[in-house]
Amino acid sequence: MKSNSQPIKLFLVVAFSCTSLLVSLIPVLAKSTDDSSVSDAYGGLRLRSNPKTTLAQATTFNQPQLPPGPAPGGRVRGGAKRGGGCKLSKLDLTALVPFTEEANSVINVWGQTTEERPSWFFYVPYTKDLPYAVKFVVQDQNSNDIYQKAIALPDKPGVIRVSLPTTAPALALNKQYNWFFTINCDQQKNSPPTFVQGVIQRVKLNPATVKELRMTEPLKRYAIYAQNGIWYEALTILAQLRQKNPQDAALQAQWRNLLSSIHLDDIAAEPILSDKP
C-alpha cells in the first residue's frame, strides 16, 4: 500500500490544478464572447469591428460604363475667373457626381438613377448676400427644357440639394437627360456664367435587388445602390443619414470614401446645408 500512495497523491494534485485552471478560465472565456474586444494571433488586444464601420469600409461605388452613343461630355467644376464677375473662392462650384477623364482630356459627367424624380447635390461657394442669379435646368435629348428653377444661394458655403418636384415631368426609363446648374455673377450679363453640367439616365434594377432594398435598413440600402452603380440614390441616402447623425464617425468616413472614389476629396469636409427638395 505504501508504494502506491505517492503516485495517487501526485495524480490528485495534478487533477486539482487542472480543474482550478479551468475554473479560473471560464469567466475570462465568457467575457471574451460578450466583450467588444478579441485577442489577435500575437496575444494582443484589439477592438472588435463595429458593424457600421465595417460596412462603411467595405462599401465601394461601382461606376458603370458610359452609355453607348456620343460621349456625355459635361463639366463637374465651374471655376470663377478674374474679370468674369464671380467672386474668387477657395473651392469652385462643384457637382457631386461621377466623372471620367479621357486620354484627350475630355470630361464625361454621367450617373444613373432609379427614381422618376431624383435629387442632385452641388457644392456652392457663394452666399445669399451676393447678387448672383442661380438656375437649375433639366433637358431631354432634344435639348427641350423639361424643368427649370431659380435657386436661392445658401447662408454659407456648402453642399445643397436640388430635387425634381412632383409637378415636374418624370424621367423616362432608359432615356438620357442633360442637367445644368448655372451661376450668373455678372448682373449686366457681359460675362458668361460659371456652370456645371452632366447627363443622368434612369434605369431599372432587377426584381431581386428591388425586394432586398425594400426589406433592409437605410445604410444597407446605400451599400446596395453603391454596389449596383446607382449614384443618385446612394448619395441621397448617405447625405440624409449624415444630416440625421452629424456626429457619427462611421458615416463621416463613408462620406469621405464615397467622394474620394469620384476624386472629390476636397468637398468631403464641406457641410451639407439642406435636405429639402
pLDDT of 1 reads: 46
pLDDT digits (tens, 9 = 90+) for 21-58: 444 444 433 443 344 333 333 333 333 445 554 554 55
pTM recorded for the entire structure: 0.78
DSSP, collapsed to helix, strand or coil, labels residue 176 as strand
Q: Supply the DSSP string of 33-64, one letter for each residue.
A: HHSSEEE-TTS-EEEPPPHHHHHHHH----PP
pLDDT of 191 reads: 81
- Asked if 271 contacts 158 with a C-beta cutoff of 8 angstroms, the reply is yes
Grid coordinates given for 79: 471655376
pLDDT of 45 reads: 32
Say yes or no to pLDDT of 147 above 80.
yes
Q: Which domains does the chain have, with CATH numbers?
A: 2-48 (no CATH), 55-267 (2.60.40.4070)
Distance CA 98, CA 64 (A): 10
pLDDT of 187 reads: 79
Grid coordinates given for 11: 495524480
Q: What DSSP state is assigned to residue 192?
A: P
